[in-house]
Structure 1
Amino acid sequence: MIISKSTVVGRLVHRLFAVSQTKRHYLTALARSLSLTHTHRHIQAQAPGLIHLFSLLSRHKEGTDKTHCMVKMLGRSLMSVGLRVKCQQLKGIQRVTAGLNPANYGDTLRREAASTSTVMGVNKMKTMDDLGGPSFMTTLYWLFIKGYFQTTQQMQIEHSKIYGPLWKSKYGPLVVVNVASADMIEQVLRQEGKHPIRTDMPHWRNYRELRNQAHGPLTEMGAKWQRIRSILNPRMLKPKHVSSYANTINEVVSDFICKVNWLRETSGQGVMVNDLTAELYKFAFEGICSVLFETRMGCMSEVIPEKTQKFIFSVGEMFHLSQVVILFPQFLWPYLQSWKRFVAAWDHLFKVAEELVNKKIEEIQENVHLDKDVEGAYLTHLLLSEQMNITEILGSITELLLAGVDTTSNTISWSLYHLAREPEIQEQLYQEVISVCPGDKVPNSNDIAQMPYLKAIIRETLRLYPVVPGNARVTVENEIVVGNHLFPKKTLFHLCHYAVSYDENIFPNSHTFLPERWLRGGEDKSKQHPFGSVPFGFGIRACLGRRVAELEMYLLLSRLIKHYEVKPDPAGKPVKPITRTLLCPATPINLQFLDRQVKQAEPRAKLAGSP
């Protein structure tokens, strides 16, 4: 909203009189109020006239006719140098520009935006009020009448066609700014500040307060979040530490190959594995538990332990109910059956996590008592470092578990789905794998570094099917500029990664599975935008488990393709994605796994944990 220039200047002059009593200070204060880096230069050029006006104004009380006339004169002087005053700045939102570091991305954007704005109405900086977008009722119509409730990722694309790359959506009192442009997503993420916030996740946070549980890296905010991340990061993100998990993950992969053999034999068709995503979910669950809790859960057994089944069910139940609970006002939650089930699911997750942590503590204490060396990986490191108490470790490691399962299971499902339908791509991957790991060699992290096509396949899969189709950011430190709009603090942005992943200007033939687009020197590489596909996020709030998830996917896919030729289900139909908090297949993916006609040394023994 733009108010009259005479009113603007009048308020500024009133504020300036309270701040300073000299003409020089008036000019400095005015420049700071306008928050334009070029203001000092322009005002100095107009100094004689402005100083004269200020000196006259200082002799008159505000509100007289003569003062009002002088205010208009000052307004015209300001307009003559192309300065524009924004409503948010009058409220004191914009910080002082004096002494700002020009290398700061957000300050540079605000400065550039200001330099192209004029008070005469040409190229004016816009606000959220100027954005188009559907009303709350229209959004409900799209979700429940047009049927986009489970395909909200596709709704991103449809709305961007209607409203452009930047629009707002209303969900009751909540206003969300949707961003469906790689350039604009970059602008948001580069201005996220020192302590970026995704969303409040009030139902997750409410549970922790209800049960007095600690917040983890997904739910904590501000300086407390930064402290947690600084403790968790090294063993999750440093390559030398991540590489040390390869043997643990490979053990789980070996057991999964045995599980595939058993599934083929029991399918009745000899080669078919039905509902592959469900089986890969168990693999991913086993793998991440092996890394985080340093223990096996029995997910690769023919008969999964009842306790483990309940743990897996609780994870799925919690994610499903998260979508339901958040639709209701918080004061209604205690009366909802879905809230009670939501709490019960979390209760079981923390109960099992606590049992696993206590088990590891007992092992450590026993080794210390026997004067043995204490060996271990992630959980052992957290327990021995004493940087976090037990409650904090429980909160963090439980949230890491939740974040680590779906990425691997869904991405490998989609990768195998496309490789089965694209035999040429599958053959090229197979040739790469056997050239790096001939014979019975099992790939390790060093071998993976020599498989660019394998990495390109995973990258292309994550472009087509980003596990998180839309991310969120809340601006908490500064107002920010996105495009030609200025947004205040506490604006909630929805980053439409799915829509951007299908932008033909960035990814030609965007609906086609083309791993080659990610190879160095590839034909489409030069057209790509660094923020066109960011499946693991960006900056200090990027996915904590990214490197572990990637290692898990690389090891699993390379060994599966080395061992099997994958073909589609002859009776199968195309599978489409849906959104259930995360992006997943709408229907089961059934594939044929045919043995490669080469000698392999992969395990053919009984499954781990089998009788």
Structure 2
Amino acid sequence: MALWDTEFGVKGSSIIREWSGQVQPALVASFIFLFCLEACLWVRNLRYKRKLPGPFAWPVVGNAMQLGQMPHITFSKMAKKYGNIYQIRLGCNDIVVLNGRTAIRQALIEHATEFAGRPNFVSFQAVSGGNSMTFTNYSKQWKMHRRIAQSTIRAFSSANSQTKKAFEQHIVGEALDLVQVFLRLSADGRYFNPSHQLTVAAANVICALCFGKRYGHDDLEFRTLLTRVNKFGETVGAGSLVDVMPWLQSFPNPVRRIYQNFKELNAEFFAFVKDKVIQHRETYNPEVTRDMSDAIISVIEHGKDNGLSKDFVEGTVTDLIGAGQDTVSTLLQWILLLLVKYPHIQAKLQEQIDKVVGRDRLPTLEDKKSLAYLDAFVYETMRFTSFVPVTIPHSTTTEVTIDGVRIPKDTVVFINQWSVNHDPENWKDPHVFNPSRFLDENGVLDKDLTSSVMIFSIGKRRCIGDQIAKVEVFCFLPSCSTSASLRASPPRK
């Protein structure tokens, strides 16, 4: 929700990974055409000296075949040879890749405005009816849109108000229901995949915030919604072939079909959200703010002139729903996996929760200051997994120079967050999962170290919902662990 820099399951590395995975069948259908078109460009490029270091790029495919299934690892290896700022080529696009904490912070913090753009990719234009804050380019309108979304999220999750308490209660309630569902599914001793249940729980929290309504785990309408969102996440990366080779839309080929499916999924999901927003407009009462949809309608449609049309309401809510369920559910799945893999860490967490919270009450955010190891565990999960290894592509809004390297305007830029979280110069034994690395000798959380973890990006495109994600995950974990005494309670309706 950047809104997350991971909206709707969009992982920067997924864009590249799908590019690599789809390139061969696409070339089977259109190789001759592409070769004739690209060969001239390739020969032309050989006549000119490269502006940036980087690997040799082949005609048509560029460097796509070199990236493999884990591009973020490849990027880090390339950085050892070419430096932390280098250039690759995908299709017709020269792309700058940034690695390492120093180069990335210099770009996104010291030159935040210059790196705040988004490429003019056709797949980006298909999201949220073209009004997605996450995928639109940097502008005055974008800044106003982001400011409204930020203030709305803050009012419902961070402010010291009744809405904050309601947010916390939503999370705890979903955690209790999640435990009940897990117990039911495992009652006969069978194994089950918890992925769907975790997705439902995370999506219910953001739906309660946006629509004032939660759904049951077996609700048909809700399952349809999540299917659309999940397919979005599975498909969005495949659209990148059309992004970097837009002429693929001009004739039949596998990528064209995939992109058409991508657009249809976007249209279906957007229609679902739009229907909910219309219902909110019809029942809107300026005296009562029921949820974030009401709050956004109030500011955009009934507030001072801000240059945003009412279509931006649907775009904002669509961003929030897609981002809110994907990022949190992904993090929860990794947490569950790591708890199973490291039982001694699970036991240590349970011991601290039992000591601070006990088994006769539910946890609250007030307990957070006394659960430092739990916080450390969450930060280490984000660092270790780096489940958003590469952010959504940026683009430069003007010519800019970082670390002595000149980058032209409108250059596509990949940010390799994985390289920051696994740099051996910043982290001792980065490939070892160790939550205690975030605690000092007194067991206090090291704030400087936690701020070094890069998972929600930084700068102007930083995820505005990162605090929601952290609060949600923090509340889920102790709530699930302390719900043993509440197992007899039936799920909420």
The TM-score normalised by the length of structure 1 is: 0.64
- The answer to which of 520-529 and 132-141 deviates more is 520-529
2:382 counterpart (462, 479, 482)? 462
Alignment root-mean-square deviation, CA: 2.9
User: Paired residue for 1:235?
Assistant: 152
The one of 223, 226, 239 aligned to 1:325: 239
Which of the residues 200, 207, 224 maps onto 2:141?
A: 224
Question: What is the CA-CA distance between 1:170 and the residue it aligns to?
Answer: 0.6
Greater CA radius of gyration, 1 or 2? 1
CA distance in 1, matches of 2:482, 2:444: 28
Q: Distance in 1 between matches of 2:186 and 2:428?
A: 38
2:175 is the alignment partner of 1:253: yes
Q: Identify if the C-alpha distance between structure 1 residues 201 and 213 changes in structure 2 by more than 3 Å, giving closer, same or farther.
A: closer
- Cα distance, 1:174 vs. partner? 0.9
Note the C-alpha offset of 1:543. 0.4
Which residue of 274, 282, 294 maps to 2:212? Answer: 294
> Counterparts of 1:127-526 in structure 2 under 5 Å?
129-136=51-58, 137=61, 139-143=63-67, 148=68, 150-194=69-113, 196-197=115-116, 199-200=118-119, 202-207=121-126, 213-237=130-154, 239-240=158-159, 243-244=164-165, 245-265=167-187, 268-269=188-189, 272=191, 274-298=192-216, 300=217, 303-305=218-220, 307-328=221-242, 329-333=245-249, 336-365=256-285, 374-385=288-299, 386-387=302-303, 389-471=309-391, 472-482=393-403, 484-520=404-440
Q: Which runs of 5 or more structure 1 residues have no equivalent in the other structure?
A: 1-126, 564-599
Contact in 1 for aligned 2:373/2:443 (Cα 8 Å): no
- Note the C-alpha offset of 1:518: 1.5
Q: Aligned pair in 2 of structure 1 residues 129, 540: CA closer, same or farther (>3 Å)? A: closer
Deviation string, structure 1 residues 262-299 (Cα, Å, up to 9, x no partner): 1112xx416x4x2223321222122211112221133x
Percent of counterpart pairs with the same letter?
19
Deviation per residue, 1:7-36 (Å, 9 max, x gap): xxxxxxxxxxxxxxxxxxxxxxxxxxxxxx
Q: State the 1:213 CA deviation.
A: 4.9
1:56 alignment partner in structure 2: none
Q: Shift of residue 503 of structure 1?
A: 1.4
TM superposition shift of 1:462: 0.7
Matched residues in 1 for 2:406 and 2:239: separation?
A: 32
Question: Is contact 1:179–1:494 with CA below 8 Å preserved after alignment?
Answer: yes
| Contact 2:274-2:314 within 8 A present in 1 as well | yes
Q: Secondary structure at the match of 1:129?
A: coil
2: CA distance between counterparts of 1:236 and 1:603? 32
Q: Judge conservation of contact 2:85–2:97 (CA < 8 Å) in 1.
A: yes
For the structure 1 residues 512 and 561, does the alpha-carbon distance in structure 2 shift closer, same or farther, using more than 3 Å as the test?
A: farther
**Structure 2 unmatched runs, 5+:** 1-48
Letter in 1 for 2:181: K
CA–CA distance in structure 2, aligned partners of residues 455 and 221 of structure 1: 34
Q: CA shift at 1:423, angstroms?
A: 2.2
TM-aligned CA deviation for residue 196 of structure 1: 4.7
Deviating 4+ runs (over 4 angstroms): 520-532
The structure showing larger relative contact order (alpha-carbon pairs under 8 Å, at least 6 residues apart) is: 2
Q: 2:72, 2:390 within 8 Å by CA — same for their partners in 1? A: yes
The one-letter amino acid paired with 2:209 is V
Quote how far apart the aligned CAs of 1:447 are. Answer: 1.9
Alpha-carbon distance in 1 for matches of 2:443, 2:373:
15
Q: 2:474 aligns with which of 542, 554, 558?
A: 554
Question: Contact (CA 8 Å) 2:117, 2:137: kept in 1 or not?
Answer: no
Whether the 8 Å contact between 1:507 and 1:524 is mirrored in structure 2 is no
The one-letter code sitting in structure 2 at the alignment partner of 1:236 is I
Say which SS state the counterpart of residue 476 (structure 2) adopts.
helix
What code does the residue aligned with 1:260 have? F
In the TM superposition, residue 391 of structure 1 has moved relative to its aligned partner by 1.5
Which amino acid in 1 is paired with 2:249? Answer: W
The one-letter amino acid paired with 2:222 is T
CA contact (8 A) 1:311 1:348 kept: no
Q: For the residues of structure 2 that align with 1:173 and 1:230, how far apart are their CA atoms?
A: 35
Partner of 2:42: none
> 8 Å contact 1:456–1:519 — kept in the other structure?
yes
Q: Which moved more, 1:154-163 or 1:177-186?
A: 154-163
Q: Give the counterpart letter for 1:156 in structure 2.
A: F
Following superposition, the deviation at residue 392 of structure 1 comes to: 0.9
- For residues 149-175 of structure 1, what are the alpha-carbon distances to aligned partners after superposition, in whole Å with 9 as ceiling and x for unaligned? x32232223323443333211112211
Name the aligned partner's letter for residue 177 of structure 2: D
| Residues 73-123 of structure 1, C-alpha deviations (whole Å, 9 max, x = no match) | xxxxxxxxxxxxxxxxxxxxxxxxxxxxxxxxxxxxxxxxxxxxxxxxxxx
**Inter-partner Cα distance in structure 1 for 2:70 and 2:226:** 24
Using the TM superposition, give the Cα deviation of residue 603 of structure 1 relative to its aligned residue in structure 2, in angstroms. 4.5
Work out the CA distance in 2 between the residues paired with 1:170 and 1:363. 51
Instruction: Name whichever of 377-386 and 158-167 sits farther off.
Output: 158-167
The 2-side partners of 1:474 and 1:261 are apart by 47
Counterpart AA for 2:356: V
Question: How many residues matched?
Answer: 425
Q: Quick check: 1:602 aligned with 2:472? A: no
2: distance between equivalents of 1:524 and 1:436?
15
Cα pair 2:117 2:396 within 8 Å, conserved = no
CA contact (8 A) 2:129 2:315 kept: no
| Distance (Å, rounded) in 1 between the aligned partners of 2:238 and 2:460 | 30
The alpha-carbon distance between structure 1 residues 477 and 163, as it changes in their structure 2 partners (threshold 3 A), is closer
Distance of aligned partners of 1:511 and 1:545 in 2 relative to their CA distance in 1, 3 Å threshold: same
Partner Cα distance (1:524, 1:165) in 2: 33
8 Å contact 1:294–1:376 — kept in the other structure? yes
Cα distance in 2 for residues equivalent to 1:505 and 1:291? 41
Equivalent-residue separation in structure 2 for 1:551 and 1:523 (angstroms): 21
Cα separation, 2, equivalents of 1:130 and 1:202:
23
Residue identity opposite 1:190 in structure 2:
I
User: Are 1:218 and 1:399, in contact at CA under 8 Å, matched by a contact in 2?
Assistant: no
2:21 counterpart residue number: none
Asked if the contact 2:119–2:410 (Cα under 8 Å) also holds between the matched residues in 1, the reply is: no
Given that residues 359 and 482 in structure 2 are in contact (C-alpha distance below 8 angstroms), is that contact kept between their aligned partners in structure 1?
Answer: no
The CA distance in 1 between the partners of 2:204 and 2:394, in whole Å, is 31
Mapped contact 2:400–2:406 kept (Cα < 8 A): yes
Task: In structure 2, give the amino acid aligned to 1:129.
Answer: K
Q: 1:128 to 1:448 in 2, by over 3 A?
A: farther
Q: Residue type of the partner of 2:63?
A: T
2: CA distance, partners of 1:297 / 1:527: 37
Equivalent residues of 1:292, 1:401 under 8 A apart: yes
Instruction: Give the letter for the 2:359 counterpart.
Output: G
Counterpart contact for 1:192–1:473, Cα < 8 Å = no
Label 1:530 to 1:269 Cα distance change in 2 as closer, same or farther (>3 A).
Answer: closer
- The one-letter amino acid paired with 1:287 is V
1:495-527, Cα deviation, whole Å (9 max, x unpaired): 211123111111111111111111245899999
